[in-house]
Amino acid sequence: MLEISPIYAGLLALLFLGLSYRVVLGRRAHKISVGDGAEKDMIKRMRVQANCAEYAPIGLILLAMLELQGASGAWVHAGGSALLAGRLLHAWGFGRTPQVVPARIWGMYLTLGSILAMAIGDIALALV
């Protein structure tokens, strides 16, 4: 039974909804119905949202697999916390104007590091 992963799934969903709302606000402000209207602000808002949509799902799948395979709660929380922190830092750093490059970089380190660690953990647990 999944008890920890849903917490991170819910928090990442809230982050995604917040990023989606920023896209909607940008569309209204720039009067853009479809696409980015060649507006740098819209392109950035859409990429921040899309980046979350690209990385969060695989992270959540790996996190749930860890939990289902019986990884300790501490390991599941570590993976979920790193993934969430990475996505938050990246969204904040990338979404700012000007960008906060260290936040963007550390956000990707945390995101990719958590995905790598969880992938290795999933494989290891499946083989024992």
Of 14, 28, 119, 10, which is closest to residue 71 (Cα–Cα)?
119
Q: What is the CA radius of gyration of the chain?
A: 16
What structural domains and CATH numbers belong to the chain? 5-127 (1.20.120.550)
Reported pTM: 0.95
pLDDT value of residue 117: 98
Rounded Cα gap, residues 9 and 16, in angstroms: 10
pLDDT, tens digit, 9 for 90 and up, residues 65-101: 999 999 999 999 999 999 999 999 999 999 999 999 9
pLDDT surpassing 90 at residue 35: no
Overall residue count recorded for the chain in this entry: 128
What is the chain's mean pLDDT, rounded?
97
Identity of residue 19: L
